[in-house]
Chain A
Amino acid sequence: MASSSRFSPIFWGRWFWRQLTSMRTALFLLLLLALAAIPGSLYPQRSADPNGVRLYFDQQPEIAALLDSLQLFDVYTSIWFSAIYILLFVSLVGCVLPRTQVHLNALRAKPVETPQKLERMPAYVTAAAKGDQLDRAEQVLRSRGFRVRRLDDSVSAEKGYLKETGNLVFHYSLVLLLIAVGLGGGFSFSGQRVLVEGDTFVNNLASYDAFSPGPLFFENELQPFSMTLEDFEVVYDLRNPANLGQPVDFIANVTLDDGLTNSNSDIRVNFPLEAPGANVFLTGNGFAPVITLYDGVGNIAFSGPVVFLPQDSNMTSLGVIKAPDASPEQIGIIAFFYPTAQELESGAYASIYPDPIDPLLTMNVYLGDLGLDAGIPRNVYALDITDLDLIAGRDGPNPPIELRVGETAELPGGAGFISFDGLKRFASLDVAYNPGGLWIMVFAFIALVAIVFSLSVRRRRVWVRQLAGKIEYAALARGDDDGLEELIVDLRKEIEGD
């Protein structure tokens, strides 16, 4: 345009858009995306490995702070990673939209007019004509799935429109897939809950130990149901010496009550339970010894199962009991649980097998202010012992308390009694919902089918012209096509009938 100056914003806008939507830019952005994804596998990510990030901060706080300022612990939600894939998708849409228009026109249009100089085509043969062969050519080309246009002295044919259709559908599917990922993640939620055998979970926000909602989550997404963990079973390999103690199955038997019906089913790894509005997954397990603690004046200061966190593959487990209501002094206990205990030379214990064959509890008992009354939230799995007095323990004035199932022991100094009443297991359950999943799968499979067509179908134009006793065959392909010669030879054979 004469009026638009070389340096006008419109000029630069167009220039920028042309650059962005060019194949070269798409290629560049793709490679950049691959590069940008690498750091996410080198540094721990908050989304996949929050503990790793915490550890990094503990060990190298300065480097960690630097990495964090570059968003290297959140690579896949970082500004730079997002910028690349958003640019890539803008480029994709900008490239695909005009191509769609072109393709729609091509789908409606007849094959092109036969070019003057067929001999310039990449595949070309000529022969002497035997009578009028154009009708026959038209028939043969049609039967081979070509779209055919009959002209005065020639036939123009084209096939393989599915190649571009596949290409476009593939790219649109990727856009839709990305939208489904975004929206699905927005409405998604996942919540964790630890359930001891016999406990019931009611699906509402207050019941979760931890809950992570997507940005578009609304509370009504949580549909009413309750779930009771009836029984938790771990199946160990008992037949193969090399694998003794290796768990081969975890089975959480639950009763699900959705308000109308009760149903009983098993949750296993790889086999989540379909609850109303969410799936329930089994993510962890451990032991929950049932303990009763009587304080110095004979009242029950604590009673019930205590969730012990597993520390190793033989299920040595660590648990904490806090009894702020005990009198005369508050009681805190750090306890170890050994499903199959064996005494080491040092006098300490170790678990030598993960199943409870010879279970043993050992306890360090503390007295003093547990710090629970100050209103500061405390981790239930940890006990701050800085202000407490150790009254029984390996380094204490008295040996640690050792209990087997059914036993009761007296705490030193008349602080009370403690009994190990029974052993239960607990299951860590994840309740998760992501409405995007199904759509993502649908778009991914559409993309997969589309890319197969896009890569395998060949777009070809064929011309047959009969002029002055001579018949010419020519073919042209979009892109590289090593089968053109063969096609022409085949066509000629079929048309000339020999």
Chain B
Amino acid sequence: MPHPPIKIVVSGPVGAGKTTFTRTMSTTEVVSTDEVATERIGKVSTTVALDFGSLAVGEQEIMLFGTPGQERFDYMWSVLCEGATGLLLLVAASRPGSFLKARHILEFITSQVAIPYVIGVTHLDAPRHWEIDEIADYFQVPPEHLVALDARSRGDGARALFRLLERCLPEGPTSGQLTALLQT
């Protein structure tokens, strides 16, 4: 009897790396809904509905649902979080101006559904950035709820997903699953 798929929501403010993460981790063709951005957000396109990708970890299928980042799309946060197992909230360490927005997204989602989350800290390679501990202080969460990741790296993404699965699954993921994640 195969396990039902695990649904992971990838959220966070504009430019945190949600679409990049989903494209890095998915082993199936990613459905993206990016449109040309009319605001100055530091990139040319932005997600208006969702990104969808999936990967298999051994027998276990993981589905990734990326949300839009702007607050005007907050209804998509609710829509995509229905039935979700876990939330990966991405935050760019180089954009402290977006931390308040990230906190708003986290509070918006967790006030509607009790969902385990991990904060993935991206853009740590930028010349000016906040350190993980400082960001943990800002969010007032234990540092073990944060994980450093480069959204372009499969290894980093796998470790972030593993950390999230540790918080989501009662029995926790197996070491075999981590190996499988890293090998996908």
A and B form one complex: no
> Which B residues lie at the A interface, using CB under 8 A?
none
> Which A residues lie at the B interface, using CB under 8 A?
none
